[in-house]
Structure 1
Amino acid sequence: MTDRQDPALHVLTAERRQLTSLAYRLTGSLADAEDVVQETYARWYAMPRPRRDGIASPGAWLTTVASRICLDLLGSARARRERYVGQWLPEPVPGGTAWISGRWRGGVADPADPADPAERVTLDESVSMAFLVVLDAMTPAERVAFVLHDVFGYPFADVARVVGRTPAACRQLASSARRRVRPARERPVTPAARHAEVVRAFRRAWEAGDIGALVGLLAPDATATGDGGGLVTAAPRPVEGAERVARFFAERAGAVSGVTMLERVVNGQPGLVARKDGATVAVLAFAIADDRVRHIWAVLNPEKLRPWAAD
């Protein structure tokens, strides 16, 4: 299909990255996000040509439809999670900081964004594993209202059309979601360089099987969560406490031969990638505060490691 056949084609193509970025934050899965975008475009081209030509802002239409598909998907995802083997974690993505800049309203960039900065979440922050884990604890309506308004800057009138509630109700949904996020956001932000140093020190202590060094790098209430999806071995429940987490990792330091630990950007923050025979077997994301590791999220489910097939 060419621009002559569909004048909106260049707009649709430009929106794909934006839609994938939005859908990933709403679903926590890059695979689901890609399916959402594909379904959104399928619905666009399923409309009669005169109806498509009558849509003033294709970008706004696409965002609304994609958000509604995500809302439906989040409802069914809860049932799927009940059947999931072990702990479920969001799908990690390489990098993340380059995903979309600027604010968007009705499909048009809005750099001014007059909304209260206290209610805003940066796009880089919104793709971190820690943030996605908090989002996953929200109700579908809370998550959609919060991401659309606080992350992407859509006014509540537009959010209401997606969620099917009043603007006032959507404001309450976002406020409730904001209360869930607040504890994590109130912790001091660790600069990326220092974050990387702590992760590097953790890698070295882990490879050496040094329990004492690992304990020194972990917060007293540190937790480690693994997601194997029933396809590979992972701890069925989170490991809690610095001593237990340290021993858990130290005991596995020499358990798997031929594994190389690489320092990589995971969801916009320094993390670790485990490679064996050229294949990625695990991706680890870290939450760090006061120079100590508070949380470790290890994704081992091979179905979630598809984006990590090559560096």
Structure 2
Amino acid sequence: MTADAVTDLFEEHRPLLTGVAYRMLGRVADAEDVVQEAWLRWSAADRGDVHEPRAYLVRITTRLAIDRLRHLRSRREAYVGPWLPEPVVTEYGPSVPDSAERAVLADSVSLAVLVVLETLSPLERAVFVLREAFGYPYAEIGAALDRSEAAVRQLAGRAKRHVEERKPRYDVDPAVRRDLTERFLAAASGGNLEQMLALLAPDVRLVSDSGGKAKAPRRIIETADKVGRFLYAVGLSRPSGTEVSTVELNGGPALVYIVDGVVDTVLQAQVDGGVIRCVYVIRNPDKLAGVHKGRAVPFG
């Protein structure tokens, strides 16, 4: 295989590898580091023994992501305030033509699901991502993780039950859910307290991630009245000239606030049961660079 062929084959699978790594790690830079390391191993590998390059590359990427995730866990324990995944501009690759498949992949990259995945062990997370997001057979997952098929089935069942218990039910039509989300975002951007309160669940939560690098609550705010009034106050205190736009991030609409040409805040809502159950606010500048550049991460 020529050097160009080696490179072309890897680039063909890069969107899939990036999609796996991002879902595993929740941060683009970490995902890109893992994919780069996978490239180095691929370029140096004895490819004569590689009969299925796609499976080989996914296996390398997954194992590297597990190792990195284990390392990141200790850093996240020392994180200032709540930790949220890095938001990304999402796009549908040409390999995902079906709307049903797109919906599954969009769900797997949503902030709500990624937050739940943070509570899984690295192995459980890897099994869940490969099985639920990409539909890998248990046998292939077992080969990738050097585990028996029976062990993988057990891990998959435990991870799926855990996620299903904690993720949004999404019991409304996607179009209705998007409409409700957009109405909430419009109320938030327009500073309409009454409209916001009408859309919030009584026990709604607001989770804000600043990493200690921007002004934001370091504790979760709860109840509709407190969340609504906080967002209303923030809306009133926005710097003059702030630009507000709606962008698709992690498979759903989000508000992006731009101050002096730089993305300052991302706000996204989680809909469950026909009301807003959680509001995510991301202000850590390290996590907003990709949004500012419009950098899109394929679903896989």
Shift of 1:23: 0.7
Question: How has the CA–CA distance of structure 1 residues 82 and 215 changed in structure 2, closer, same or farther, with 3 Å as cutoff?
Answer: same
Structure 2 SS opposite 1:158: helix
Shift of 1:185: 5.8
Structure 2 SS opposite 1:95: strand
State the distance in 2 between where 1:98 and 1:134 align: 25
State the distance in 1 between where 2:97 and 2:19 align: 13
Counterpart for residue 31 of structure 1:
29
Counterpart for residue 167 of structure 1:
149
Shift of 1:186: 6.9
My pick for the range that moved more, 286-295 or 56-65, is 286-295
What value does the CA root-mean-square deviation take over the aligned residues? 2.3
State the distance in 2 between where 1:246 and 1:142 align: 36
Question: How has the CA–CA distance of structure 1 residues 54 and 204 changed in structure 2, closer, same or farther, with 3 Å as cutoff?
Answer: closer
Counterpart for residue 246 of structure 2:
263
Deviations 1:115-158 (A, max 9, x none): xx9xxx92121011111111111111110011112221222222
Counterpart for residue 77 of structure 1:
72
State the distance in 1 between where 2:261 and 2:236 align: 19
Counterpart for residue 89 of structure 1:
84
Counterpart for residue 12 of structure 1:
10
Deviations 1:49-75 (A, max 9, x none): xx2233112221111000000011111
Structure 2 SS opposite 1:157: helix
Counterpart for residue 215 of structure 2:
233
Counterpart for residue 45 of structure 1:
43
State the distance in 1 between where 2:51 and 2:13 align: 15
Question: How has the CA–CA distance of structure 1 residues 100 and 301 changed in structure 2, closer, same or farther, with 3 Å as cutoff?
Answer: farther
Question: How has the CA–CA distance of structure 1 residues 196 and 150 changed in structure 2, closer, same or farther, with 3 Å as cutoff?
Answer: closer
State the distance in 1 between where 2:114 and 2:59 align: 21
> Tell me, which stretches of 5 or more residues in structure 2 are unaligned?
295-300
CA contact (8 A) 2:90 2:249 kept: yes
> Tell me, which stretches of 5 or more residues in structure 1 are unaligned?
104-116
Shift of 1:290: 3.7
Counterpart for residue 130 of structure 1:
112
User: Given residue 164 of structure 1, which amino acid in structure 2 is its aligned partner?
Assistant: D
Matched, 1:54 2:52: no
TM-score normalised by structure 1 residue count = 0.86
Counterpart for residue 297 of structure 2:
none
CA contact (8 A) 2:116 2:167 kept: no
CA contact (8 A) 1:21 1:100 kept: no
1 or 2 for the larger relative contact order (CA 8 Å, sep ≥6)?
2
Question: How has the CA–CA distance of structure 1 residues 6 and 275 changed in structure 2, closer, same or farther, with 3 Å as cutoff?
Answer: closer
Shift of 1:184: 5.1
Structure 1 SS opposite 2:215: coil
May I ask how many residue pairs the two structures share in their alignment? 290
Question: How has the CA–CA distance of structure 1 residues 276 and 183 changed in structure 2, closer, same or farther, with 3 Å as cutoff?
Answer: same
Quick one: which of 94, 97, 101 aligns to 2:96?
Answer: 101
My pick for the range that moved more, 89-98 or 262-271, is 89-98
CA contact (8 A) 1:262 1:274 kept: yes
Matched, 1:243 2:225: yes
User: Given residue 149 of structure 1, which amino acid in structure 2 is its aligned partner?
Assistant: R
Quick one: which of 272, 275, 280 aligns to 1:297?
Answer: 280
Structure 2 SS opposite 1:197: helix
Shift of 1:269: 0.8
Shift of 1:206: 2.8
Quick one: which of 172, 176, 183 aligns to 1:194?
Answer: 176
Deviations 1:82-115 (A, max 9, x none): 1111110011111344485289xxxxxxxxxxxx
Shift of 1:167: 1.8
Deviations 1:181-215 (A, max 9, x none): 21356724444443343333323433444333221
State the distance in 2 between where 1:186 and 1:90 align: 17
Identity, in percent, stands at: 36
Counterpart for residue 279 of structure 1:
262
Quick one: which of 49, 63, 73 aligns to 2:58?
Answer: 63
Counterpart for residue 137 of structure 2:
155
TM-score normalised by structure 2 residue count = 0.89
State the distance in 2 between where 1:99 and 1:71 align: 28
State the distance in 1 between where 2:94 and 2:252 align: 13
